[in-house]
Amino acid sequence: MAATMAFAVFHPLPSLFSNPALRLQALGRVPFIRFVSAAARSSSSFATTEFNISFGVAPAPDVKDAAPESSPSDPSATSLPMVIPWIVRGEDGQLTIQSTPPAQFVQAMAEAKMPTKEKKKSDKKKPSGAKTSSTSSIATSSSAPKYSKAARRFYNQNIREQPQRLSKVLASVGVASRRSCEELIFEGKVTVNGSICTSPQTRVDIAKDSIYVNGNRLSKKLPPKLYFALNKPKGYICSSADDSKSVISLFADFFKSWSKSNPGLPKPRLFTVGRLDVATTGLIIVTNDGDFAHRISHPSSGLTKEYIAAVEGRVSRRHLIAISEGTQVEGILCVPDSVELLSTQPDTSRPRLRIVVHEGRNHEVRELVKSAGLELYSLKRVRIGGFKLPSDLGLGKYVELKQADFKLLEANTQKNS
């Protein structure tokens, strides 16, 4: 700015900077440069600083920095480079004029240009397909999320494992039944994150919380949900106890293969959905999913169950009417949905009845047959909801349910087969 003010005294700015070569002949007509500071100009009386300027001889034409240009007025004149005077304040506080810029200014300009040069060099070293960190961060922040907010909400509500009751978690990993787990919690044998927990309703996350039962730590990973259809034989009880006559003992080969293929994971705790008495055979669902078992077995589901009852003697119309009218079971009148006398088969001479119920109370079908004055020989369950016992599934055998079987299982139907 100071240099511009100094030049404005003797040369108009447009003509000075429109010509890139400053002619020393024009500058030679000015004997001195007068400088007045802005602070001094505001006062009534101020002093001026004058600089005597002398110009050296023009460089030879072969100098590279000289820009040769012929003047229209003097063709023989030699073009001279532009000279920019720098007015600086010295260490003594006095203003001086020099032809080169101050050292501090040159250093500051060099430091300002250095990061740009280094960045260009680093960009050259990177492959053409690589992006800079700033570009990638901008692209990451501006790019759309992988999943929408609605999809993430659906995952959190329906798929992601939510904190569950402590008693339910213990039963899910196979510690014991839900009721037995509650007893362990009340007895102070369960710790959560180092503290004894005596409330079965405490919400825990098995993946995050540290849970110990009788000094043994629970696995951080729950076993997968399993669903089986079992053809229960006669003489087996529907219990999860370690008993040779429990229906769970029929899954010994499954547990053996599970331990081999899933080392380190606890064995799934299987249990039956509902019950069949010890003398009843046929279809029963075995799973480790408590919510599924509750949904299927609860009376509010209204799922029908179909039984085939073989009886002694002759069945008359009076017997069928008596069964259809229902009977008292545990103080509640239980009426079957349908009763039908099946045709005689060559392999058996005993009459068979198809009885469909939806209450599912203890010994309900047996009480219906008994109240009608008939003697029951055998009882077999062949259907739950819309899922029928596979005809090729032998006694004591099981089959894992497929996705299509769940829709049949939870479908309420009374269609006769």
Neighbours of 61 (CB within 10 A): 9
β-strand pairing of 281-287 with 271-272: antiparallel
Q: What is the largest CA-CA distance in the chain?
A: 146
Q: Measuring CA to CA, which residue among 10, 44, 14 is closest to residue 29?
A: 10
pLDDT in tens, 373-408: 999 999 999 999 899 999 999 999 999 999 888 888
What pLDDT was estimated at residue 224?
83
- HSE-CB of 68 using CA atoms within 13 angstroms: 7
Residues 206, 192 contacting (CB under 8 angstroms): no
Active site residues: 277
pLDDT in tens, 205-215: 888 889 999 88
d(CA 379, CA 224): 33
What pLDDT was estimated at residue 283?
95
What pLDDT was estimated at residue 26?
45
Mapped onto helix, strand or coil, the DSSP state of residue 206 is coil
Mapped onto helix, strand or coil, the DSSP state of residue 88 is strand
Buried b (16+ CB within 10 A) or exposed e, 221-257: ebbeebbbbbbbeeebbbbbeeeeebbbebbeebeee
How far CA 238 is from CA of 217, 244, 246, in Å, comes to 29, 12, 6
Structural domains of the chain, with CATH:
2-104 (no CATH), 164-217 (3.10.290.10), 227-409 (3.30.2350.10)
- Tokens encoding 179: 């009721």
Residues 405, 291 contacting (CB under 8 angstroms): no
Q: How would you write 298-365 as a 3-class SS string?
A: CHHHCCCEEEEEEEECCCCHHHHHHHHHCEEECCEEECCCEEEECCCCCCCCCCEEEEEECCCCCCHH
Per-residue pLDDT of the chain (417 residues; tens, 9 = 90+): 444 444 444 444 444 444 444 444 444 444 445 555 555 555 545 455 555 555 555 555 554 444 444 444 454 455 555 667 777 777 777 777 777 777 777 777 777 766 555 555 555 555 554 444 444 444 444 445 567 777 776 666 565 667 888 988 888 777 877 888 899 999 999 999 999 999 999 999 888 889 999 888 887 777 788 999 999 999 999 887 777 789 999 999 998 888 888 776 777 888 899 889 999 999 999 998 888 888 888 777 788 999 999 999 899 999 999 999 999 888 889 999 999 999 888 777 899 999 999 877 888 999 999 999 999 999 999 999 899 999 999 999 999 999 888 888 877 655 444
